[in-house]
Structure 1
Amino acid sequence: MERTPRRDVATAFMAAVRAALRVLQRNARLPLVREILGHWLQERSTVRQGVAALTIGITITLAAGVVLGAMDRLLEELPGLLVLAPAAIGMRGAIFGALGARLGTGMLTGELDGRVDRGSFLGQNVAAATLLSAVTAVLLAAVAKGIAWLLGLEVIAFTDLVVVSVVGAALSSLAVLGVVIALIRSAQRQRWDMDAIGTPIISATADISTLPALVVGTWAIGGEVVSAVVGWTCVALALAAAVAGLANRRETTRRIVRESLPILGYTALMGVLAGTVLEAQKERLISSAALLVAVPPFIASSGAIGGILSARLSSQLHLGLVVPRALPDRPAWMEGSLTLLFAALGYLSVGVLTHLASVALGYASPGLAGLIGIMATAGVLAMVLIFFVGYYAATSSYRFGLDPDNVGIPLVTSTMDFVGIGCLTAGILVFG
């Protein structure tokens, strides 16, 4: 079979790691570096699959960034849309990233047995994700309207926000769910590491599908009376979905909804706060469209890297390979070294690809050096936060008897939605 360029790059990288490890072993120097390189070699399958998934994810979310850059006029015409966009993207990634993590753990524990009926492990997980999508679509609109009111930001009417959010959630959820099902089936056949590939690809699909879906949602806004009727009907249906989930007769669905809703409430808040930061920087972003293009791939990369860490920690907690301690133990720090590797490769790629896309489209840009400087500054800050948020989210939920798959990925991705925007803003202030 012909080798792909991506596989050649991964093979060359792992060969370089082996060569560096041999040199360090001969000279008996830098024992910590030797241990890290040894861990990377031991997890070379995860490294290859993770790098491949991040590459796919960054490429897809770069397209989402281009879409966001082209939405400048719509963002000005519909105040508040930029407040809702990061939250909607983050919510899709949180719900379906957690779904992918649960299914990946189910592969390891044998719960994912191939059945697809409503009572099966797969069926109950899909039902929970569907109910959570319906509830959180309205929740996002309510949080966005409330935060905008508190901060004095101009936004469209609440029922208009509900219509845009619900239509966007319905369309993008169908797309992301299809990708999750296809991915888990392929992972079963090919014996892929779902923890390494799931979150990057799912997050990327959420990014590229949610923005166009929100644009379609804006087309659904009708007259004042029509929007009010449709909007309040959606609110009633969301309340019914919440009751159906919380009181569901199927144990797995009920547990997922009960454990996920509080975390997804936090996700909504963090996503909306991230959107308000973007709204405050809207003039700067629109005047240098390359910065607007960089937002989705940077935030998606942060969430994907954190998702890989959370999913792996969750699986290792279930298997007893990581002990939930107040301070990370050696195996957890080794997982952190993988985060370092993925972050270095991911953020550098975001800077370079954003520059190339901006040049090709004629967008105003701070230049290649400026974009790499922005990504390096923002990436260092984000990388440290990703590790500590990911570790303590997974271990704390595990110690309190919760499923880390329901808590870790949504908590990490939603935190990085807001904090990542802050890190990116810091990079822009330094190099932009």
Structure 2
Amino acid sequence: MAVHHTGAMRSKSRSNVLVHMVDARQRFAALGIGVVAASAGGLVLAAAEGTLAALPGLLLLVPGAIALRGNIFGAMGSRLGTAVHAGTFRPTVRVDGVLGQNLLGAAALSLVLSAVLGVFARGTAVLFGISPTMTLAEFVVVSTLGGLLASFLVGMVTVGLAAGSVRFGWDLDNVMAPLVSTLGDLATVPALVVAAVLAKQSEVVDLLAAVLVFAAVAVLIAAWRTRLDDVRRIVRQSVPILLLAGILDLLAGVAVEKRLDDLLAAEAFLVLLPAFLGVAGALGGILSSRLSTHFHLGLDDATSLPSRATLREARAIGAVAVPIFVLCALIAHWASVATGQSTPGLGDLLLAVLIAGVVAIVLVAGVAYVTTMTAFRLGLDPDTFGIPMVLSVLDLVGAFTLVLAMVAVGVA
């Protein structure tokens, strides 16, 4: 009996090690793909120097617009991941199905919150004395049109990942947050630039802004009162938390906009910005998704102090973080050199990223656990609350820590 018991324990131990290795590979692969995609978005941002100068305040929108895609579709992916683990997910877009209702809820939130973000961005610019800046109508048009275009692309990726998880056995908790968050960077930055160019050339920008605001209000009312239970719940629970998240992201945008001259002098940091913010948020999103799944399935208790299982998950996230942040710096430097963008040098870039990254990763674990645990204990859906708060807090902290790290290494 003792021999049999010992053999069973060894088999279980080997199985656990194998699971952790698979998790690590999936996370690293997803984050690596995301870093490359986000860096491509950063190159678009760095190359759009003329647009940034012609439409002052555009950079203010970038962290919020990027985060909004990650917040909406990251939370959607987390909900779908929980449904897959619970066995309730079906790969069909029927309106009354899990996937169909999540898509409708995400589409409604994308339109409504993109319009609101434009209004908030203009108010933030006035409040913090950022001048000159775009008009209110230009902010609304750029934020809404850019947001809708990016949301369509990110939504297709989200659905594809959900279908792939069922067919190929991927763990959505490992791949959804990093890919949706960082591929959102690739879609959002060019979409904002395209929308900004259209707004700059349009002679009917005021009328277009009014139409978009009217459409957003109508969609919000319809989604708030719909008979589709999941859509109604998603919208009602998401709007308050996404409004708060949007404010935090705009504060991150203020930190970036205020340092625009320094960023244009060292454009490698503009290339780095979407990838750094995306990775920090994605790491928190992975942890939040894992914790949410564990709480839903009763595999862990949502206690005030984290359990050993939670600490193991946090350590696993930390182990992936350092090489991924180094990859961010390497790609930003090489891409900047290859495309003729200014760079402070690989050494300074690496040092700044590691300083900011260490601070960010410590906060990732704390914010992810507290937010997910609190939502679960209050009877709210941690999939809906956890990822938006994690991504937005990390955007704010990430932007400030990156700016402070630039100052620390003498770049700014």
Tell whether the structures are fold-level matches, with TM greater than 0.5. Answer: yes
Q: Secondary structure at the match of 2:199?
A: coil
- Following superposition of structure 1 onto structure 2, how do residues 367-386 of structure 1 map, counting pairs within 5 Å? 367-386=345-364
Which residue number in structure 2 is paired with residue 250 of structure 1? Answer: 228
Question: What's 1:27 paired with?
Answer: none
Per-residue deviation, residues 326-357 of structure 1 (Å, max 9, x unmatched) = 11111111111012112112111111221211
Q: 2:128 aligns with which of 132, 151, 163?
A: 151
Distance in 2, matches of 1:227 and 1:264, equals 26
Within 5 Å, which residues of 2 pair with 1:262-277? 262-277=240-255
Q: Does 2:52 correspond to 1:87?
A: no
Residue identity opposite 2:170 in structure 1 = W
Corresponding residue for residue 207 of structure 1: 185
Partner of 1:58: 35
Cα distance, 1:160 vs. partner?
A: 1.2
For the pair 1:121 / 2:102, whether they are aligned, the reply is: no
Identify the residue that residue 139 of structure 1 maps to in structure 2: 116
Q: Which whole-Å CA distance do the structure 2 matches of 1:298 and 1:429 have between them?
A: 17
Q: Which residue of 22, 25, 48 maps to 1:48? A: 25
- Indicate the residue corresponding to 1:20 in structure 2: none
Mark the CA change 1:245 to 1:310 in structure 2 (over 3 Å): closer, same or farther: same
Match of 2:387 among 395, 409, 415: 409
1:223–1:379 Cα change, 3 Å: closer
CA distance in 2, matches of 1:38, 1:419: 37
Alpha-carbon shift at residue 223 of structure 1 (Å): 7.5
The CA deviation string for residues 281-340 of structure 1, in whole angstroms up to 9 with x for no partner, is 000000111111110110010011111111111101111122111111111111110121
Which residue in 1 is equivalent to 2:48?
71
What CA RMSD, in Å, does the superposition of the two structures yield over aligned residues?
1.7
Q: Which secondary structure does the structure 2 equivalent of 1:111 belong to? A: coil
Which blocks of at least 5 consecutive residues in structure 2 are unaligned? 1-13
Local SS of the residue matching 2:100:
helix
Q: What displacement does 1:220 show?
A: 2.7
Q: Cα distance, 1:80 vs. partner?
A: 0.8
Counterparts in 2 of 1:183-332, with a 5 A limit? 183-221=161-199, 226-332=204-310
CA contact (8 A) 2:45 2:190 kept: no
Does the 8 Å contact 2:51/2:197 carry over to 1? no
| Mapped partners of 2:66, 2:52: distance in 1 | 16
**How many angstroms does 1:157 deviate by?**
0.9
Q: Is the 8 A contact 1:40 1:47 kept in 2?
A: no
8 Å CA contact 1:355, 1:365 repeated in 2: yes
Asked if 1 retains the 8 angstrom alpha-carbon contact of 2:51 and 2:196, the reply is no
| Equivalent position amino acid for 1:196 in 2 | N
Residue 3 of structure 1 is matched in structure 2 by none
* TM-aligned CA deviation for residue 245 of structure 1: 1.6
Tell whether the 8 Å contact from 1:86 to 1:275 is kept in structure 2 after alignment: yes
Q: What amino acid is the match of 2:384?
A: N
| C-alpha deviation, 1:39, in angstroms | 6.8
Once residues 267 and 64 of structure 2 are traced to their aligned partners in structure 1, the CA distance between those partners, rounded to angstroms, is 20
2-structure distance, mates of 1:222, 1:300:
28
Give me the whole-angstrom Cα distance separating, in 2, the residues matched to 1:224 and 1:167. 13
State the distance in 2 between where 1:333 and 1:94 align.
24
**What residue ranges of structure 1 are gaps of 5+ in the alignment?**
1-36
- State the 1:82 CA deviation: 0.5
> Partner of 1:221: helix, strand, or coil?
helix
State the shift of 1:110 in Å: 1.6
Asked whether the equivalents of residues 40 and 338 of structure 1 are also in contact (C-alpha less than 8 Å), the reply is no
Q: Residue in 1 aligned with 2:321?
A: 343
Amino acid at match of 1:142: V
Normalised to the residue count of structure 1, the TM-score between the two structures is: 0.89
SS of the residue corresponding to residue 43 of structure 1 reads: helix
1:134-179, Cα deviation, whole Å (9 max, x unpaired): 1001110111011111111122111111111111011111101111
Distance 2:138 2:98 in 1: 36
* Counterpart-to-counterpart distance in 1, 2:15 and 2:171: 19
**Which secondary structure does the structure 2 equivalent of 1:79 belong to?**
coil
1:144 and 1:38 map into 2 onto residues whose CA distance is 50
Aligned-pair CA distance for 1:42: 4.2
**d(CA) in 2 for partners of 1:174, 1:307:** 21
Deviates more, 1:225-234 or 1:304-313: 225-234
Q: Which residue of 2 aligns with 1:365?
A: 343
Match of 2:10 in 1: none
- How many residues matched? 397
SS in 1 for 2:320: helix
CA distance in 2, matches of 1:224, 1:134: 20
Q: Percent same amino acid at aligned positions?
A: 38
Counterpart of 1:384, as a letter, is V
Paired with 2:103 and 2:24, the residues of 1 have a C-alpha distance of 29
